[in-house]
Chain A
Amino acid sequence: MSDILTHLQQIFRDVLDDPRLQITRESSAQTVKDWDSLAHINLVSAIEQEFQIRFALGELAELKNVGDMIDLMEQKLAVR
């Protein structure tokens, strides 16, 4: 399990208030319970805050699942 995934798991658990939630690279809004539009907004802000990165407008719309998100975050963290 990648470091980012472990880290994201905790953020997802906090934001979605589900301490036993297990996310994988394949998880998406369709497969994770309670990942609605408001939760999505809160997830994005929590991730930006935690990793000190910023997603540009439109970047997130392209993502299919958590795996895509991790790849995007890795790119951003690499050029920091």
Chain B
Amino acid sequence: MPAAVLLRKQKALRRDLLNQTHLLGTRIALLGGSTTTEFASLLELLLLEEGIQPDFYFSDYNKYFEEAVLDPSRLIQFGPNLVFVYTSSINIQGRAVLEATEDDFAAHVTSEYMRFASIWNALDEFVGGMVIQNNFELPAQRLLGNFDLISAAGSVRFVNQLNSEFAREAGKRTKLFLNDLNAVAASVGLKNFHDPRRWYGYKIFSTPEASLEIAKSAAGIVRAIYGRTRKCLVLDLDNTLWGGVIGDDGPEKIKIGRETPEAEAYSAFQEYCLRLRDRGILLAVCSKNSESIARQGFAHPDSVLKLHHISSFKANWDAKYQNVKAIAAELNIGLDSLVFVDDNPAEREIISAQLPMVAVPNVGSDPTGFISVLEDGRYFESVRLSREDLERSQQYEANAQRTAVESRFETYDEYLDSLEMSAEIAPFKPVYVDRIAQLINKTNQFNLTTRRYTRAEVESLASNPSCITLYGKLADKFGDSGLISIIIGRREGSILHVDLWIMSCRVLKRGVELIMLDSLISACQRDGIAEVLGYYIPTEKNGLVADHYAKLGFERAGGNEQKSIWKLKVSREYAPRNKYIKEPVHE
């Protein structure tokens, strides 16, 4: 949607979006160095599009420092999940004099940096949630021209230095994220970013278009914090990954490589896809072609992408939406994890209409535009790169090998036995807090209650003596699946309430739930718990686990259609259920 239309019709758009069900609520405090209402209403709109419904707190105008450091009582009372320090270059205090020395410059940087560090420290101490901090756009005026970048009195140099201090600090703090205002301003252009009329008139430093771009950038971070980022790029072939039609032109005639400008553009797009794959985004192919011919394109000597980079390959003459569904099923991810790239507008339209959860950017038909459209969509935004992210593509390759092995065995038990699985199951540890929060917030299918917890909440559960927390990691002879299951139990007297039980779908049907139950029961025996109560809250996505507790031998103990309750007595005679997963003796 063009920015002008979105800005003008935002109220109606908001009204429509509020009609969705299953919105995830979040409380966002905006500590503004300027008027933040316009930004907030745009951020709200963008988050609602992703199924997140923010509830805002607004600091008094330009009281971002005071309300964090000097009198945070109103902020504490609001209890935000996220605090957004919405400042910009207009909030930089102090101005260098022309005679400034290198020491003066360093002292000025330190004093501004310390002012913000004291905000982050205070928020950490008093509020404890995540913090998003704007960095600084380059100043609208450069009194010294190009020398402003070099001089100790230069404001350009000052902003650059302060931004780099912020970046270094954000790298060290686990709950501090930077909204790269400087990159947004560069992308919009400073002349289209500032509007002095709006600054003097309303105390808004940005143009409406810039406010929208800042909101898009911020929404990307919020989505990433909640694990709502996309995981897989679904790619068409002809005129998307290479130029020409391989079935008509022949594999040797497709445009790829360095020979022509067009071929170079397609190669650049393939390289971009490969770089996404290297950072953990899965690649899938969805093409109307005969499979054997489609595969030949990847054997082209100049093809950057090779067949082993593609985690799911669908080339046939079926409707694409069926293939897209098959890809999601094969990779065990939701349709809302997919981004569909196709040069053909008709195919894009069908996918949008049939599968509204799939992101379908309008990439156009010119390969030189594909990358920037994908970048603008911020589909793969991440707040940090976990080891799991970097290993994910290998994990899915290993899954494909497992499927191949599966078909060679007479019985499923034989297959499970052959996998030589081993698990590590233990209470939450600090080193896994990021991964645990990530898994909790993105798991929708194998999820009994679909409760979400922030990173800070996970941390506090880990140290809460009345909670039993367990994580499970699984490895087998094909590779390490990493941390894939979580249980959170809350003790009340001699009863343990299982508030959360989740598992990643990539280890479905491997018996992980059995060994998790065994560990849960032994923790209960140790803590003198007599009864475990499990809950199942149905959603659109978790039908998979409707019988989870029944299968594990729990008895139905009431509840209703919105929530069923299941009970298991903890006895001394409990016989462990797990048969195929070895558990190393832990420390």
Whether both chains belong to one complex is answered with yes
Q: Which residues of A contact B (CB under 8 A)?
A: 11, 14-17, 37-38, 41-42, 45-46, 49, 55-57, 60
Asked if B41 and A38 sit within 8 Å, CB to CB, the answer is: yes
How many whole Å from B13's CB to the nearest CB in chain A?
Answer: 9
Q: Is B74 an interface residue (CB 8 A)?
A: no
How many whole Å from B193's CB to the nearest CB in chain A?
Answer: 15
Residues of B within 8 A of A37 (CB): 37, 202
Q: Please, which residue of chain B has its CB at the minimum distance from the CB of A38?
A: B37
Given A38-B38, A38-B41, A57-B197, is A15 in contact with B11 using a C-beta cutoff of 8 Å? yes
Among A45, A49, A60, residue most surrounded by chain B Cβ atoms (within 10 Å)? A45
- Cα(A37)–Cα(B196), bound, Å: 18
Asked if B200 and A15 sit within 8 Å, CB to CB, the answer is: no
Residues of B within 8 A of A57 (CB): 196-197, 200-201
- Cα(A70)–Cα(B198), bound, Å: 21
- Cα(A38)–Cα(B40), bound, Å: 11
Q: Is B208 an interface residue (CB 8 A)?
A: yes
Q: Please, which residue of chain A has its CB at the minimum distance from the CB of B5?
A: A14
Contact with A along B1-23 (1 / 0, CB 8 A): 00010011111100100000000
Asked if B204 and A46 sit within 8 Å, CB to CB, the answer is: no
How many whole Å from B204's CB to the nearest CB in chain A?
Answer: 7
How many whole Å from B428's CB to the nearest CB in chain A?
Answer: 43
- Cα(A37)–Cα(B474), bound, Å: 56
Asked if A14 and B8 sit within 8 Å, CB to CB, the answer is: yes
Q: Please, which residue of chain B has its CB at the minimum distance from the CB of A48?
A: B208
Asked if A46 and B7 sit within 8 Å, CB to CB, the answer is: yes
Residues of B within 8 A of A16 (CB): 11
Size of the B side of the interface (Cβ < 8 Å), in residues, is 19
Given A38-B41, A56-B197, is A45 in contact with B7 using a C-beta cutoff of 8 Å? yes
- Cα(A18)–Cα(B9), bound, Å: 11
Q: Please, which residue of chain B has its CB at the minimum distance from the CB of A34?
A: B11
Asked if A41 and B12 sit within 8 Å, CB to CB, the answer is: no
8 contacts across the A-B interface (CB closer than 8 A)? A14-B9, A14-B12, A41-B204, A42-B7, A45-B208, A46-B4, A46-B8, A49-B7
Q: Please, which residue of chain B has its CB at the minimum distance from the CB of A45?
A: B208
How many whole Å from A44's CB to the nearest CB in chain B?
Answer: 9
How many whole Å from B498's CB to the nearest CB in chain A?
Answer: 44
Contact with A along B115-156 (1 / 0, CB 8 A): 000000000000000000000000000000000000000000
How many whole Å from B201's CB to the nearest CB in chain A?
Answer: 6
How many whole Å from A4's CB to the nearest CB in chain B?
Answer: 17
Residues of B within 8 A of A46 (CB): 4, 7-8
Residues of B within 8 A of A17 (CB): 9, 11-12, 15
How many whole Å from B207's CB to the nearest CB in chain A?
Answer: 8
How many whole Å from B6's CB to the nearest CB in chain A?
Answer: 11
Q: Please provide the 10 A-B residue pairs with the shortest distance between their CB atoms, ordered closest to farther.
A: A17-B11, A45-B208, A46-B8, A17-B12, A57-B197, A38-B37, A14-B8, A49-B4, A14-B9, A57-B200
Say which residue of A42, A55, A56, A60 sits within 8 Å of B10 (CB atoms).
Answer: A42
Residues of B within 8 A of A55 (CB): 197
- Cα(A14)–Cα(B8), bound, Å: 6
Residues of A within 8 A of B197 (CB): 55-57
Among B8, B15, B208, residue most surrounded by chain A Cβ atoms (within 10 Å)? B8
